Amino acid sequence: MAIAVGQAAPDFVLKDQSQKEVKLSDFAGKKKVVLVFYPLDWSPVCTNEHACFVNDMKDFEKLDAEVLGVSVDSAWSHKAYAEKMGIKYSLLADFQPRGAMAQKYGVFLAEKGIIGRAIVIVDKAGKVAWFKNYDIPVVPDIKEVAAALAQVK
């Protein structure tokens, strides 16, 4: 079951494409966090989704937010993907155990072995401020996400 708005966002420690450990709690009191859960690097819809975030990154920076992509791919896949796509934000490897972090958020699709497409906005207090699940073939509306983010104090 997916997490709910108002609930404390489950903390995690995952490695990004640079093998750096990223903890949700490190952002508490400092920045809002946009968790971009997506099925797989290199797939067409995910590639379109990340292209939108890359193109609109200034909007998210102005709104005092850190964008973190999360999939079950390895840090090595993330590294190659980020380089190819020009992604500067962290792509987190929910790789081992597969999908364990996404499971805490209720977005791991165990029967498929991948993470579903969802976006979670975590406020500076570490609470879920906004959450939306998307069908896997749907590219999230980045303007909608930015508008939701702008409402988060």
Helix crossing, 44-55 with 75-85: angle to 10°?
A: 60
Exactly one of 34, 46, 82, 87 is catalytic; name it: 46
**DSSP summary character for residue 127:** B
- Residues 1, 106 contacting (CB under 8 angstroms): yes
φ/ψ (deg, to 5) at 57: -60, -35
d(CA 89, CA 99): 20
For the question of residue 46 being annotated catalytic, the response is yes
d(CA 16, CA 144): 26
CA-wise closest residue to 105 among 33, 30, 17, 21: 33
Residues that are catalytic: 46
